Amino acid sequence: MSFARLRAADWVAFVAALALLFATAADWYSTEGGRQAREFEQGAPAQGEGAELADDAAAAAEGEERNAWQADGAIDRAILVAMLGTAALAILAAFARAAGRRSEDGVGLTGWAGAAAALTALLVLYRVIQEPGFDEVNTVQYGAPLALGLLGVIAFACAMSVRAEEMDEEGTERREVNAAA
């Protein structure tokens, strides 16, 4: 197994898949009250009674914020499973490429990882547009757009990797035909 076999697109997909795992822990949603509590916490003095109020505001904000692991809805669970599956496929595709394994027929792991990333990106986009709970009360935090961007990067990198592999195979076939002639 040699990671020197990985193309730039494979490295991008691999690193983005690892980053996607961290993006699941970032805050995805909060409420308007949680956002205001977080603003108060950041503007409060560091000492005295202001520090105690800042601690209370931080606790209140933390109680209102949700990440991908804490969201309760069935669609949120499906999104979490899809993100974990996408990350696993992209990581496995990189290891398979490093091991020198190629798909003999059909779509390989890289193609499946790209398709999973595109489908999961649609699910995350739906959830960003249709926030959990009441839309007037909830706000989208940086975690959901970050995950959406990382899924887009994975899908694009996988597509580029599959295309490069197809180009390599065409070049190998042409060389074999020219050598036989």
Going residue by residue through the chain (181 aa), what tens digit of pLDDT does each one get?
777 778 899 999 999 999 999 999 888 887 777 777 777 767 766 666 667 777 777 777 767 777 788 877 888 899 999 999 999 999 999 998 888 777 666 678 899 999 999 999 999 999 888 877 665 667 888 888 999 999 999 999 999 998 888 887 776 666 666 666 5
Angle at 31 between CA 154 and CA 124, to 5 degrees: 20
Separation CA 165–CA 163 (nearest Å)? 5
Count Cβ atoms within 10 A of the Cβ of residue 119 and give its class: 0-12 exposed, 13-18 middle, 19 or more buried: middle
| Total Cβ atoms within 10 A of residue 132 | 15
Query: What pTM value is reported for the model?
Result: 0.80
Alpha-carbon span 87 to 20, nearest angstrom: 7
Taking each helix axis as running N to C, give the angle between helix 8-23 and helix 109-129, from 0 to 180 degrees, rounded to the nearest 10.
40
- Cα separation, 70 vs 14, in Å, equals 25
Domains of the chain by residue range? 3-25+68-180, 30-65
What the block records as the tokens of 35 is 């956002």
